[in-house]
Amino acid sequence: MKKIFVYIILIVSLVGNIYFIFIAQELEQLRSKQNTVDMYRKLDSLLVDNFMERYNSGERLSVYFGRSSCEDCSHFDPIFIDIIERYKLGDKVYYVNVEGLHENKFEWENFKEEVNIKGTPTIAIYENKKILTKLDFEEQDGFTSYELESWISKNLLKLE
């Protein structure tokens, strides 16, 4: 009888843990999606095709590449949103959501090579189809909020 009781407790505990892990993952996905929605509210956005048209025309563009399924982006976005509000960057940077592009490995790799980024999150400034400067999370193996703010001060605020 004691063995059956122990097995029942173990099974209930296991099912409970699986349930809480599932709920935690769902909450993280919701938070990531909310960050993406918030980014659309703070920055003008460009579809990937629209970005490529403007990029290929040589236009000067300041862009933030991100995606909702990117764990680094989900941590980066709230910090960046705070900086966007503090420095009033809403009309200086475009948001390019590369979620759909990222789903096709071949297209994603070609895109990254063409626009000279390693991954997301990345903030970059382009002109004449050349990258002038960028802050690439993967390339730098991460960056602090201080490094982000410093980069923005040096590169985006001087555009005013």
Question: Cα(135)–Cα(144) distance, rounded to whole angstroms?
Answer: 11
Domain locations along the chain: 34-157
**Average pLDDT score over residue span 151-160:** 80
- The mean pLDDT value of the chain amounts to 85
Share above pLDDT 90 across residues of the chain, in percent, rounded to a whole number: 56
CA distances from 130 to 14, 61, 85, 111, 126 (A): 54, 10, 28, 14, 5
pLDDT of the residue at 39? 82
Looking at domain 34-157, what is its CATH homologous superfamily? Answer: Glutaredoxin (3.40.30.10)
**Average pLDDT score over residue span 141-152:** 89
Say which residue the tokens 């000279």 belong to: 116
- The string of pLDDT tens digits covering residues 9-39 is 777 677 666 656 655 555 555 554 554 567 8
pLDDT of the residue at 74? 86
- State pTM to two decimals: 0.77
